Structure 1
């Protein structure tokens, strides 16, 4: 099962969270995995937040799968509240009777994730542009 949800961020960027659920062998457990994508104002398609031209690309390639996914989440601008909202919606769509396990323990590691912060001056500049 796949759930995609798009969030409009305050800096003129859109962020998409793709939640994939895969039923485990025992049929009562669902394994959840996330993918984080962004789209700037001038882009037509969604892309990964950290690509080959990004200054932190080297860190992404050196990291484990879990750490690289956390880096993608951090640079996407998605807040912890938005991540929890999508996870809650996914669990609601799947329905009762499943226990959920995470591919990478993202929710527990996003304790201080705040999303993109924009000052009042930046908001005014973005609204004019």
Structure 2
């Protein structure tokens, strides 16, 4: 099952969280994985860190788990938005299921603040 949630961020950017899950046969356990995409002034969504991004070298150097944290950080999403989308995904299954995040990103993220803008920038964007 694939669940997608799009958030409009303050600076004209949209961020998408894609949750992909696999339900084990004859079990009530659901394994899920998160993917983070952004869209600035483009038609399609893309990963937050591409080949021309200054932090691309870190993405290739890190493990899969750390690179996912880096993608989340540069997406501009807040911890509240991440938890909201995971809770919405879990509500689709019901109370009888147990969930396991492959990287446990929801539990391990503590200080994700999202994109901050000043009052002047907000007025200019409106």
Query: Which bin holds the TM-score, normalised by the shorter protein?
Result: over 0.9
In structure 1, list runs of 5 or more residues that go unmatched.
none
Residue matched to 1:3? 3
Deviation at 1:108, TM superposition (A): 1.8
- Point out the more displaced range, 17-26 or 44-53: 17-26
Q: TM-score, normalization: structure 2? A: 0.95
- The superposition leaves residues 2-41 of structure 1 with CA deviations (integer Å, 9 ceiling, x where unpaired) of 1101000000000000011111355211011100000012
Aligned to 2:111: 112
18-27 or 43-52, which moves further after superposition?
A: 18-27
- The answer as to whether partners of 1:66 and 1:105 remain within 8 angstroms in 2 is no
Q: Superposition pairs for residues 57-68 of structure 1, below 5 Å?
A: 57-68=56-67
Work out whether residues 21 and 32 of structure 1, in 8 Å CA contact, stay in contact via their aligned partners in 2: yes
TM-score, with normalisation over the residues of structure 1?
0.93
5+ residue gaps, structure 2, are none
Which position in structure 1 is the counterpart of 2:38?
38
State the 4+ residue runs in structure 1 displaced beyond 6 angstroms: none
RMSD: 1.1
Distance 1:5 1:108 in 2: 19
SS of the equivalent of 2:45 reads coil
Aligned residues: 126
- State the 1:107 CA deviation: 1.0
Aligned residue number for residue 13 of structure 1: 13
